[in-house]
């Protein structure tokens, strides 16, 4: 939960976990299927184009922002979806009574502000189904799903990002003649193995160039396909580079030797540059040079080892960068595609010393990306995918420790960065802050897209078994009321630009030589980065001699320029915005303030005002035009203009309130969790993972809006339809009302 959480508030959180699901204080979340009524008071479908790509392909401007084909700015509120992967179910999974409908799913998402989805598939041949498939064959089932997904989303103005390859499920056939054989891991191989690369290109060609039978045009010619992601979660700077063995390692060593001789001229000059540093696996005839364990790159090194290791990091980085550039050339020139290309989205063995090299390897493409989740400790027999009785977990909140906020990213100058996978991962219990905080800080920092992970249901996701039969609850869920339910106001606030982008808080210029030497940056997005401890190896030429407070990410954009001059790095006067004594940080736009002592974040702009908070510490929050008074322990409340006018004069305002939710019957108890090194963490034990439906804490909220134009209020159901008229009380300059206990949306109108 972070060392900075005060003891009083921590005690309150422990109490809240123990008491919140004792019954009587919740309402059952069982919304009807959306009938998409034309008179719905809340429907964000008009934010999207009539058809995605109707004005042309998505492009990137010089500032790193996405533009529609007509040149207008576009911000992406996105989700990862598995809906439609199977055309139908033979039997519906436990807790899911009907098979998802892809067309309904697209309309449902568009209504809630989504304008991008991500296809995360695997185009390599399905060897279980077709054991004799050639490496150049494509997985036709996955391709058909992708084609159907693009076609369905396009009709609702939703763009698609495709992720066609992930090394984790990749399987090799013994007939493919992959060096090293069929049983090896595919980790790192795509970057340098020509046989695998040839197969990969054939899969791309089979996906992108034939006519999509559901649209009548190839994906290569379809502007509704916005971004092509080369690969998911692989890097030669991650730990799995150590797993490259046998013939593949020998090939990599030969490539390293060729690279080193090209850099220095001759083998003798290589040995001279490396000061005689040898490794056991070096070829005596200089045909191949062995690689250090990647662990060595995470530690300070000196002398000859530092030089040789620096060359190894440069070689690995440039190998990835060249591969990425080659694939861009293949996609754009050989296949005739106009889509943007993203290289990958992974991390490294040392986020502080190596992440900048990873991002530099992306610069031969047009878009940067990262997968970055917010979660806590979770220990259990199937903790990677299931929540089971007896599991141990912690329940952190960004409001109390903001360093792990997913949008805290170093962005390469002039390039968009998207977060291709993220969520507040269950069993954490403070998820309703997620959409509010992402909307606010994504706007502030200019992060160009955020893809919530993940859904397999066309509408809402109820608690259900993680695999259909194991006594458990699904972990990777975003279709619950406290996340998906709070999409509308968050998506509207972000996509309409109601929260301003800030000026850069930090612009660090980094020489490539410092990347290879693994000099520490002046600021890192790694949550454990300590500017006093971890910044002791800053480049000697930098004009910034000390580490920068990581809270700078909450002040404004933090940027990096590769190949720059470290003496020209720029840092704003962060003392104006960060008060470590009071534990507050303000944006340099003046619109966002976070108190991570009390756990309160406010947004105050002309068209959107709200708060995510542990209300126990601050029951009343007043912004310029709205006052929120809550008796709930925790929640997020926001008022947002639906007509684009300032809240003080708007004729149509959405007030949205999210509280906590858990499955029916969920219970947990305080528990101590053993950690590595003999350490312990205070957390919880799952006593019962519960059952459907979700139980949502009843709202205990009063709202005052200082707008005399507002006369009427309607309570909405979860589909945005009016269900009950709400009485407003007049105030001297506006109206006041009690938020309904068992709802999440109220619309006020003239």
Q: What is the DSSP code (8-state) at residue 378?
A: E
Measured at the CA of 384, the angle between CA 411 and CA 390, to 5 degrees, comes to 130
pLDDT the model gives residue 743: 98
Q: Please tell me the distance from the alpha carbon of residue 308 to that of residue 311, in angstroms, as a whole number.
A: 5
CB proximity list for 317: less than 8 A, separation 6 or greater: 236, 237, 357, 358, 360, 361, 515, 516
Q: Tell if the pTM clears 0.85, that is, is over it.
A: yes
Q: Please tell me the distance from the alpha carbon of residue 262 to that of residue 275, in angstroms, as a whole number.
A: 18
Mean pLDDT of the chain: 95
Q: Please tell me the distance from the alpha carbon of residue 434 to that of residue 478, in angstroms, as a whole number.
A: 10
pLDDT the model gives residue 284: 95
Q: Can you say whether the dihedral through the CA atoms of 331, 333, 338, 340 is positive or negative?
A: positive
pLDDT the model gives residue 94: 44
Q: How large is the angle between the packed helices 351-360 and 303-329, nearest 10 degrees?
A: 40
Give the containing element (helix H, strand E) for 481.
Answer: none
Q: Please tell me the distance from the alpha carbon of residue 420 to that of residue 450, in angstroms, as a whole number.
A: 6
pLDDT the model gives residue 5: 43
The 10s digit of each residue's pLDDT in 121-155 is: 999 999 999 999 999 999 999 999 999 999 999 99
List beta partners, residue 473: 387
Q: Can you say whether the dihedral through the CA atoms of 503, 448, 506, 314 is positive or negative?
A: negative
Give the containing element (helix H, strand E) for 256.
Answer: helix 246-264
What is the CATH code of the structural domain delimited by 43-242+320-495? 3.20.20.80
One DSSP character per residue, 499-564 reads SPPPPPSEEEEE-HHHHHTTPPPS--S-TT--TTTS-TT--TT-S--SPPPGGGGGTS-EEEEET-
370 phi, psi to nearest 5 deg: -155, 145
| Closest C-alpha among 184, 86, 77 to residue 144 | 86
Average pLDDT by consecutive 10-residue portion of the chain (750 residues)? 43 49 81 97 98 98 97 98 75 51 97 98 97 97 97 98 98 96 97 98 98 98 98 98 97 98 98 96 97 97 98 98 98 98 98 98 98 98 97 98 98 98 98 98 98 96 94 97 98 98 98 97 95 87 92 98 97 98 98 98 99 97 98 98 98 98 95 94 97 96 97 98 97 97 98
Domain ranges of the chain: 43-242+320-495, 246-314, 506-579, 584-749
pLDDT the model gives residue 257: 98
Residue found under tokens 């534990």: 583
One DSSP character per residue, 287-344 reads S------GGGGGS---HHHHHHHHHHHHHHHHHHHHHHHHHHHIIIIIS---SEEE--
User: Is the bond into 693 cis (omega within 30 degrees of 0)?
Assistant: yes
Q: Please tell me the distance from the alpha carbon of residue 452 to that of residue 457, in angstroms, as a whole number.
A: 14
pLDDT the model gives residue 93: 45
Q: Retrieve residue 665's tokens.
A: 């019957």
Q: Please tell me the distance from the alpha carbon of residue 618 to that of residue 191, in angstroms, as a whole number.
A: 52
Q: Please tell me the distance from the alpha carbon of residue 523 to that of residue 538, in angstroms, as a whole number.
A: 10
| Closest C-alpha among 53, 221, 212, 228 to residue 143 | 212
Q: Please tell me the distance from the alpha carbon of residue 343 to that of residue 564, in angstroms, as a whole number.
A: 22
The 10s digit of each residue's pLDDT in 323-335 is: 999 999 999 999 9
């Amino acid at each position: 939960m972070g060392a900075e959480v005060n003891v009083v508030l921590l005690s309150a959180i422990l109490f809240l976990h123990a008491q919140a699901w004792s019954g009587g204080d919740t309402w059952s979340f069982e919304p009807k299927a959306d009938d998409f009524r034309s008179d719905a008071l809340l429907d964000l479908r008009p934010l999207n184009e009539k058809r995605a790509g109707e004005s042309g392909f998505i492009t990137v401007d010089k500032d790193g922002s996405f533009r529609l084909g007509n040149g207008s700015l576009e911000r992406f509120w996105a989700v990862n979806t598995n809906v439609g992967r199977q055309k139908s179910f033979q039997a519906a999974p436990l807790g899911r009574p009907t098979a998802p409908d892809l067309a309904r799913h697209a309309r449902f998402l568009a209504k809630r502000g989504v304008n991008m989805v991500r296809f995360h598939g695997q185009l390599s041949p399905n060897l279980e189904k077709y054991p004799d498939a050639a490496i150049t064959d494509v997985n036709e089932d996955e391709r058909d799903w992708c084609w159907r997904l693009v076609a369905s989303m396009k009709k609702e103005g939703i763009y698609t990002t495709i992720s066609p390859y992930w090394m984790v499920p990749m399987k090799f056939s013994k007939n493919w003649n992959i060096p090293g054989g069929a049983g090896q891991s595919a980790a790192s191989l795509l970057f340098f193995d020509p046989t695998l690369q040839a197969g990969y290109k054939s899969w791309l060609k089979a996906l992108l160039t034939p006519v999509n039978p559901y649209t009548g045009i190839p994906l290569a010619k379809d502007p509704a396909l916005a971004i092509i992601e080369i690969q998911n979660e692989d890097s030669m700077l991650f730990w799995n580079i150590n797993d490259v063995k046998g013939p593949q390692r020998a090939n990599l060593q030969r490539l390293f030797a060729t690279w080193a001789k090209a850099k220095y001229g001759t083998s003798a000059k290589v040995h001279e540059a490396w000061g005689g540093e040898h490794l056991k696996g070096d070829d005596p005839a200089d045909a191949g040079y062995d690689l250090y364990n990647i662990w060595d790159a995470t530690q300070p090194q000196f002398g000859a080892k530092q030089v040789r290791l620096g060359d190894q990091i440069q070689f690995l980085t440039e190998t990835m960068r060249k591969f990425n550039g080659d694939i861009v050339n293949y996609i754009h020139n050989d296949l005739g595609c106009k889509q943007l290309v993203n290289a990958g989205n992974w991390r490294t063995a040392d986020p502080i010393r190596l992440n900048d090299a990873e991002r530099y390897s992306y610069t031969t493409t047009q878009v940067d990306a990262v997968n970055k989740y917010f979660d806590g400790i979770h220990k259990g027999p199937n903790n990677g995918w299931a929540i089971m009785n007896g599991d141990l977990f912690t329940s952190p909140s960004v409001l109390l420790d903001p360093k792990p906020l997913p949008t805290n990213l170093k962005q390469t100058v002039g390039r968009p960065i998207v977060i291709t996978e993220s969520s507040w991962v269950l069993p954490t219990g403070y998820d309703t802050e997620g959409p509010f905080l992402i909307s606010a800080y994504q706007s502030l920092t200019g992060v160009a897209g955020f893809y919530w992970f993940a859904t397999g249901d066309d509408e809402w996701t109820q608690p259900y078994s993680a695999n259909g039969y194991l006594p458990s609850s699904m972990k990777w869920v975003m279709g619950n009321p406290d996340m998906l339910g709070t999409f509308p106001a968050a998506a509207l606030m972000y996509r309409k630009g109601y929260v301003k982008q800030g000026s850069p808080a930090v612009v660090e210029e980094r020489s490539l030589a410092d990347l290879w030497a693994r000099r520490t940056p002046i600021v890192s997005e790694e949550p454990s980065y300590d500017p006093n401890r971890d910044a002791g190896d800053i480049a000697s030429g930098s004009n910034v001699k000390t580490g920068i407070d990581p809270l700078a990410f909450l002040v404004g954009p933090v940027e990096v320029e590769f190949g720059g001059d470290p003496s020209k790095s720029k840092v704003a006067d962060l003392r104006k915005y960060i008060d470590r004594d009071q534990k507050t940080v303000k944006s340099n736009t003046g619109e966002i303030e976070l108190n991570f002592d009390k756990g309160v974040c406010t947004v105050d702009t002309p068209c959107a005002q709200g708060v995510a908070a542990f209300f126990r510490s601050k029951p009343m929050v007043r912004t310029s035009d709205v006052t929120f008074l809550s008796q709930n322990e925790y929640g997020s409340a926001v008022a947002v203009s639906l007509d684009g006018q300032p809240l003080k004069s708007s004729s149509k305002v959405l007030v949205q309130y999210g509280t906590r939710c858990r499955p029916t019957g969920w219970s947990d108890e305080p528990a101590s969790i053993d950690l590595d090194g003999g350490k312990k963490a205070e957390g919880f034990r799952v006593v019962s993972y519960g059952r459907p439906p979700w139980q949502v804490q009843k709202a205990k909220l009063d709202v005052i809006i200082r707008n005399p134009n507002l006369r009427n209020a309607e309570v909405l159901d979860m589909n945005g339809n009016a269900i009950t008229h709400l009485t407003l009380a007049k105030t001297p300059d506006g109206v006041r009302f009690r938020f309904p206990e068992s709802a999440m949306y109220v619309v006020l109108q003239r």
